Every structure is written in structure tokens, then in C-alpha cells.
Chains A and B, each alone.
Chain A
Amino acid sequence: MLFLDRGPSPEEPRSREVRRPTVPRGSALRRRLRLLPVLPSVLLLALFLLAPVAWSFYASFTDVALSGKAAREPSWIGLDNYGRMINEEGFPLALWLTVVFVGASAIIGQNLLGLALALLMQRGNRALSRVVGTAVVAAWVLPEIVAAFAAYAYFSRDGTLNQILGTAGLEGADWLYSYPMAAVVLANIWRGTAFSMLVYRAALAEVPADIMEAALMDGAGGLQRLFFITLPMIRNSIASNLMLITLQTLAVFTLIWVMTAGGPAGASSTLPVLAYQEAFKFGDIGYGTAIASVLILVGMVFGIVYVRLLREAKR
């Protein structure tokens, strides 16, 4: 999902249908056989992607556990796990925190900051843009565990953020403990803005300069040009970017796990963290898979919307 700015990408599925060559078409069997090389991929996807998803839905109706009797012979418990979700307070809170996390860090934070950076880089000094671009991309290319450690140090009680606030004469806070959601949201903006920035830089580079000049001649101001020309012209990129960063942010685990471990008392426990804790800390694989199944369904909905969007864009 990286590197959308370079090379071909689902942004512009370049399905230039290849012209049928001069080779004879061959029998139906031969045409089938030609698809044989696709088989290894199909098998891998079926075994390691499709099967876990199917198993997830199945296991969510059982009481399968990490160890003990329920690990060997899990029994069918129907909708009990889903009933627990509604009744226990862990799940509704995690669902809400997930919405906050995706909304604040991806849809607002990464998306708007990425767009702003791309626009600023068009107007600003070239060397400066390059340095800033490198800094933004570096946070994103680093292994996620390293980024998570750096963010942890930055937000901890005697960390860099409080140092800066201190020199400005402001009282800091124990961010990871008192405001865990704010800390992980900001950390995820830092970590992931590069993706949106790269998407928007590529998209803005495609906006024809003569249209801009024509608008300038007609006396359109900066904001007018942005809202009536630039943004409508890159709307496909905006839509794809929103879908992709939503999906990426839905799946964030490591950053939160290292910074707060979902705490204190579940105050920063999003759905992936909750699923992990229920399954591996409390050994309740059945309930863990039920939470995972909800997450998979949410991902599927976004995935379907994304695929449709790209299909429309191609027409």
C-alpha cells in the first residue's frame, strides 16, 4: 500500500487491455491451462486469508479458549459472544475509541495535514520542501516498533513534549496516562501523514497548469481556486486516500500497544487491542474472534466501497 506516488498503483489501474496477439487461440482446455500459473497465488490466498476469515466467523459462535478443555473441544454457544459485546462495557467503549482514533488521526489529521503539506510544497521553497518531505516520510518508513518507541519517549512524563512546554513556561502532563487517546492520535498522525502527502503530491502534479492560469486570469482567488478547481479535480485521489488510510488506521495495533497497551483501564483500547487482550490475555479465543469478526466486517464494507470507487473512476 506504500509508494503510491511512484510507479503504477491502484490509484490509476492502468488496465490497458493488451491487444490479443497473433498466436492461435487454442482450445478451451488450453485456455484454461493458461490460467494455471495463477494457482499458487489462489492457494496461498485461500489458505492464509480466506480460511482465517471463515474460521473467525465460525469460532465467534463457539467458546473456544486458549487452553484447557474448551481449547480441545469447543462447544457451540450461538450468539452468546455477540450478546456479551452489547452487555459488557469493554466493547462499546472500544468501538467508540476506534471511531475516534480513525476519525481524528486518519480522516482529519493525516488527510488534512497531508493535503496541506502537498499544497504548501507546491508554493514553498524547493529545498525546504525536500527536507520536510524527508522528515515526514522517515517517520513512516521506520519499522513500526521503532516509531512506537520514539512516540512513547516523546509523550512520556519527562519526554520531549513536556520539555518544550516547559521552556514555553507551560505545565506539562503525563500524557500517556492522563490523555492516552490524544497521545496515540497525535502519534498516529506523525506516523502516517506521509502516505496522504505522497498521494496528494502525485495528484496535484497531475492538475494541468493551464487550467490554473485560466482561473487566475479570471480573477479567482487562492481559496476559490482550491475549492472550485483543485479539490474537484483530485476528488478521486481524495476518496481513495480516505478509504486506504481508514483501513490502515483501523488495523493499527503496535503503536497503541507499545505506547499505552490500551490503558489505563481500557481508555485507549481500540478494537484490535481489545481483540488481542480478550484472546491472548484472558484466553477467550471465541470472544476475541467475535471482536475480530466485527472488525473484518467493517473492513469489508470499506473494501467494497473502495473497489466500487475505483471501478467508477475507471469508467
Chain B
Amino acid sequence: MSRKGTTTPVPALRGRRRVRWGANAALAVVGAAFLLPLLWLVFASLDAEAGHGTRVPRQPSLENFGAVLTPELLFLPLWNSFLLASGTAVVNLLAAVLAAYPLSRHPSRFNKPFMYSVLFGTSLPVTAIMVPVYGLFVQLNFLDSVPATIFFMATTTLPMAIWMTKNFMDSVPLEVEEAAWVDGASAMAALRTVVLPLMRQGLGVVFIFVFIQAWGNFFVPFILLLSPSKQPAAVSIFSFFGQHGAIAYGELAAFSILYSLPVLLLYTLMSRGSGNAFAMSGAMKG
């Protein structure tokens, strides 16, 4: 047994090692291909004479960052992005929590068809409805209105937010809530004091998920917001650098990096936090 046992695994082991090597090499190649376009952003942002090509800056400097750090070029558009994204996320969260509560807690004939319609809603191509939405906004006199744009953007992510929120709420055990009911709390009070605190990590995930999408959205504000003073960074960066014939690539890259940092940070935060939320809901199930 022992002799046989030592001879047979050897080829298998060698095969496995070869597979591992091949896998690593392939991963490295794909990883490099994905990193290259991003590398340009970093190098160009530090290079005052940047062009299309990727090269290590001869004299790395923060000149580009200095050039874009002005109120009208950077701060106002970023503030507008923040208003749009946080407004969208708040509207989403409020509407989704309210909708998810009866859907999760009170079984009715209405629930299933509604959830499937919501799911169907997630699949509408949003860019396809932008032409009709523009028409609608003209008719309702909503064009160039930040609140109306927020409500529209919130609606485009609402189906997904409802779906996620309901799933998170389903994993909050009913027993805790029943105790609150026995103590005479109303449904809404139980929701506020018992259910929401227990699913706060899930709510955080939904909030960040919506925020990232709204922050990065270009097409919707591009169509619906006309005044430069209301436009978010995605639109201002496009009109500024698109219209200035000879593009200042270094500044474009520096602006892009400053504009991208918040969502990169939020994503990192969420991929850590939601790991815990997932673990938490798993623990409760068991």
C-alpha cells in the first residue's frame, strides 16, 4: 500500500503543479492587460506634458492637480455630483424600505406579481428611455431641475434597490419583531426601532450601490441638466475637455482620478462591510 501510494500521486502532483503554473501565467497576462489603460491615467496625471501614450513622467509633478483644483472646474461639479448621488440614494432607500416592509412581512396575493414586475423593471435599458424621458421632462417643465433629475435617477435604480432591500429584510428574524408587537409597538415603530437597526449593514450596501451608480452616471444628467452650474462632474469633464480642441491630457487624467477616488473608496468599504453583513445573515439563519 505504502509503496504504491508513493508512486501514483507523483504524476498527478506534477500535473497539478503545471496547471497552477499555467493558471498563474494566464492570470498575470490578463491582469496586465486590464491594468494598462489605468496606468495611463496615473502616469498622465503626474506628467505636465502628457499625451495619449503611456510613459513614466520625466519630471513627476502635481502641476496637473494644481491646475484643476479650482472652484468652478472641480469643486462645484463634484458638489453637484454629491448632491445628485446622495439625493438619489436617500430617495431610493426611503422608498425601498417602505415598499419592502409589507412585501417581506405580510404575505398577500399582490406580493409575487409585484416583485416580478420589479425584477422586470431592472431589465429596462435606461439609455433607451432617455429620449422619451426628455420629451416627458419638457412637457412637465422638469428640464434642468435637480430634484426632478434626482427622482428620475432614483427610479431607474429603485427596482434593484427594492429587490435587494426585501431580501435583506427577509433575513431579519420575525421573532424579534413579534416581541415588539407584543409590547404594543405599531408596525412602523417596529420597523424603525427593531428591523432597520438589525439590517443596517444591508441598508449600507443598498445606499452605496445606488450612490456609486448615480455618481458615475453621465447620460442622464447630460440629457436632463442644462445649466453648467447644476451639472455634475461626469458632464462638466466631458464638456470641458471635449470642447477644448487641444486636450490637456494631464489635467484630464488628474481630474478623472480626483473624481473617481470617492467611488473607489466606497466600493472598498462596501466589499469589506457586506462580507460581514453576509456572514451576519448567515449566522442568523443557522
Binding site for B on A (CB under 8 A): 1-3, 6-10, 13-23, 31, 34-38, 40-42, 44-45, 47-49, 51-53, 55-56, 59, 64, 113, 116-117, 120-121, 123-125, 128-129, 131-132, 135-139, 141-146, 149-151, 153-154, 156-160, 163-164, 190, 193, 222, 243-244, 247, 250-254, 258, 271-272, 275-276, 279-280, 285, 288-289, 291-292, 295-296, 298-300, 302-304, 306-307, 310-311
B95 at the interface (CB under 8 A from A): yes
A285 to B130, CA, bound (A): 11
Name the one of A41, A136, A304 contacting B120, with C-beta atoms under 8 angstroms.
A304
Decide: A279 and B129 in contact? CB cutoff 8 A.
no
Decide: A21 and B26 in contact? CB cutoff 8 A.
no
What residues of chain A lie closer than 8 Å to B216, measured between beta carbons?
Answer: 142-145
Chain B, 233-268, contact with A by CB distance < 8 Å: what is the 0/1 string? 110011001000000010010001001100110010
CB within 8 Å for A34 and B54 given contacts A9-B164, A55-B136, A145-B234: no
A153 to B256, CA, bound (A): 13
Decide: B123 and A45 in contact? CB cutoff 8 A.
no
Name 5 interchain pairs, CB-CB below 8 A, sorted by A: A1-B160, A45-B121, A143-B234, A153-B40, A159-B52
Decide: A142 and B260 in contact? CB cutoff 8 A.
yes
B145 at the interface (CB under 8 A from A): no
Given A56-B128, A116-B30, 20 other A-B residues pairs in contact with their CB atoms under 8 A: A7-B281, A17-B107, A18-B170, A34-B108, A38-B98, A44-B91, A44-B158, A48-B156, A51-B136, A121-B27, A138-B34, A141-B267, A143-B233, A150-B40, A254-B218, A275-B128, A292-B129, A299-B125, A304-B120, A306-B119
A interface majority secondary structure:
helix
Decide: B122 and A1 in contact? CB cutoff 8 A.
yes
CB within 8 Å for A2 and B209 given contacts A15-B170, A35-B108, A49-B156: yes
Decide: B131 and A128 in contact? CB cutoff 8 A.
no
Most buried by B among A289, A304, A310: A289
Decide: B37 and A150 in contact? CB cutoff 8 A.
yes
A255 to B277, CA, bound (A): 33
A291 to B132, CA, bound (A): 11
Decide: B128 and A45 in contact? CB cutoff 8 A.
no
Name the one of A135, A244, A253, A279 contacting B31, with C-beta atoms under 8 angstroms.
A135
Decide: A44 and B155 in contact? CB cutoff 8 A.
yes
Q: How far is the CB of A206 from chain B (nearest CB, A)?
A: 13
Decide: A34 and B106 in contact? CB cutoff 8 A.
yes
A37 to B108, CA, bound (A): 14
Q: What residue of chain B has the Cβ atom nearest to residue A186's Cβ?
A: B33
A59 to B221, CA, bound (A): 22
A52 to B218, CA, bound (A): 19
Q: How far is the CB of B140 from chain A (nearest CB, A)?
A: 9
A131 to B277, CA, bound (A): 24
Name the one of B23, B52, B130 contacting A123, with C-beta atoms under 8 angstroms.
B23
B41 at the interface (CB under 8 A from A): yes
Decide: A56 and B260 in contact? CB cutoff 8 A.
no
Q: How far is the CB of A152 from chain B (nearest CB, A)?
A: 8
